[in-house]
Each structure stands twice: as C-alpha cells, then as structure tokens.
Amino acid sequence: MKDAIRHLDQRFKTLRPLLAAPRPPKGWVRAIRDAIGMTAVQLAARMGVDQPRITELEKAELSGSITLRSLERAAEALGCRVVYALVPEKPL
C-alpha cells in the first residue's frame, strides 16, 4: 500500500504545477479556437454539428456542465487531447 501511495505521489508531483493554471476566462475551447484563428462555424463543421451547438458547448464548459465526451470531441476537432486526472493538492 505504501509503495502504491509513493508511486502515485511521484506521478502527481509532475502534475501539481497544473493546479496553478487557471481556466481562461472564456474557457479552454474558446481560448484555443481563438488562438488558432478558427471560427465557431469551422469548429462546428469539424465536429459535425451546427454552429449554435458550439456556443452551447463553450457555455457548458464555463458553467462546468460540459460532458467529458463533448470536451473530448471538441479537443479532437481542435487538434488537442483532453488530459483527465484527479491531482491531490498535497501528497497522499
């Protein structure tokens, strides 16, 4: 058990700096979309949905109600990957 905890703590050590990275004000999807110059219409086309769905998706990210699957689909369409982890704020 202690070895498992020690192993997890080592893995989390590299992830802890991410705790200090706040979500961009308009969310990650919008921030990346804007940074690469992609319109909501273009993202919608890549995802196979209508443009209003992108607005809903971006609002859902901000409110915290986005599904992991929706986030993964958006990330894929943006050329990104979702990295999902629970990172303890202090060592286990």
What does the pLDDT look like over 5-36, one tens digit per residue? 999 999 888 888 888 889 999 999 999 999 99
Residue 85, pLDDT score: 86
Say what the pTM is: 0.84
Amino acid in the structure at residue 73: R
* Each residue's pLDDT tens digit, 42-79: 999 999 999 999 999 999 999 999 999 999 999 999 99
Q: For residues 36 and 30, what is the distance between their CA atoms, to the nearest angstrom? A: 10
Asked if 12 and 88 touch (Cβ cutoff 8 Å), the reply is: yes
Residue 32, pLDDT score: 98
Number of H helices, E strands in the chain: 5, 0
Enter the tokens of residue 78: 């943006």
Residue 61, exposed/middle/buried by CB under 10 A (0-12, 13-18, 19+)?
buried
At residue 1 the predicted structure's pLDDT band, cuts being 50, 70 and 90, is confident
CA distance between the termini of the chain: 12
